[in-house]
A and B are shown apart, each in its own frame.
Chain A
């Protein structure tokens, strides 16, 4: 079964600085998707960034970028120029490439990010 591990329960960063959140996963599949979701206190799950495993290029969305190391099964999230609004719980998630049964996401346990003014 696929598992997703986030080894940092809590992280903090100074406003305007850069922080990297770690995520590793375990799978025997070769094609899959990886995601980072943000969950602020409102509880809304917000998609931050997505990566297809078959793409070698790391995904980037404005201040958010990933370091995808397929062989190492690592998928870290880098937040540049951190802002107060980035404070939230961040979840790493894995999804299989296939449809139908197994069409589910596997989430890590989350990293709580604090942004210090």
Chain B
């Protein structure tokens, strides 16, 4: 059973470009969470999605950031017009249909570098 798969592992974008980060949850998991880890910091919550629904986006920046989890396919975190401050590691986690009374299963993250 493959774990949470994130790709790409590393992504380099020039300022002003778009970044698309993909996350395939574990098989049978329908809850997906995105976290951002800035250098020298812990992970910070961004958004929580279920299939075709955003449940909680309280941690998402109001502009340029969006997330989706379609009926088919991976969850996508999209960052438009990237800036240097967006450089970070972005982690996806998933959990089964029940709320995550246990720890999430995390992916290995996508390291975004904006040059």
Supposing A45-B106, A104-B56 touch, asked if A33 and B101 sit within 8 A by C-beta, the answer is yes
- Find B42's partner among A33, A100, A104, A109 (CB 8 Å cutoff): A109
Stretch touching chain B among A35-43, A68-76, A79-87: A35-43
Q: B100 interface residue, CB < 8 Å from A?
A: yes
In whole Å, how far is A68's beta carbon from the nearest beta carbon of chain B?
Answer: 16
Chain B residues with CB below 8 A from A56, complex form: none
Q: With CB as the reference atom, state the residue of chain B lying closest to A112.
A: B40
Contact A107 B48 (CB under 8 A): no
CA of A45 to CA of B4, assembled, Å: 11
Q: A95 interface residue, CB < 8 Å from B?
A: yes
Q: With CB as the reference atom, state the residue of chain B lying closest to A98.
A: B99
Q: A44 interface residue, CB < 8 Å from B?
A: yes
Number of interface residues of A (CB under 8 A): 28
Chain B residues with CB below 8 A from A105, complex form: 35, 43, 45, 104
Q: With CB as the reference atom, state the residue of chain A lying closest to B44.
A: A107
Q: B72 interface residue, CB < 8 Å from A?
A: no
CA of A6 to CA of B43, assembled, Å: 13
Q: A25 interface residue, CB < 8 Å from B?
A: no
Contact A102 B41 (CB under 8 A): no
Contact A103 B56 (CB under 8 A): yes
Contact B106 A91 (CB under 8 A): no
In whole Å, how far is A8's beta carbon from the nearest beta carbon of chain B?
Answer: 13
Q: Which of A35, A100, A107 has its CB near the most chain B CB atoms (within 10 A)?
A: A107
Q: Which residues of A8-47 have CB atoms within 8 Å of chain B's CB atoms?
A: 33, 35, 37, 42-47
Contact A43 B89 (CB under 8 A): yes
Task: Pull 16 A–B residue pairs with CB atoms less than 8 Å apart, ordered by A.
Answer: A37-B103, A37-B106, A42-B108, A45-B91, A46-B106, A47-B103, A95-B100, A101-B48, A103-B55, A103-B56, A104-B45, A104-B58, A107-B35, A107-B42, A107-B44, A108-B42
Q: With CB as the reference atom, state the residue of chain B lying closest to A91.
A: B42
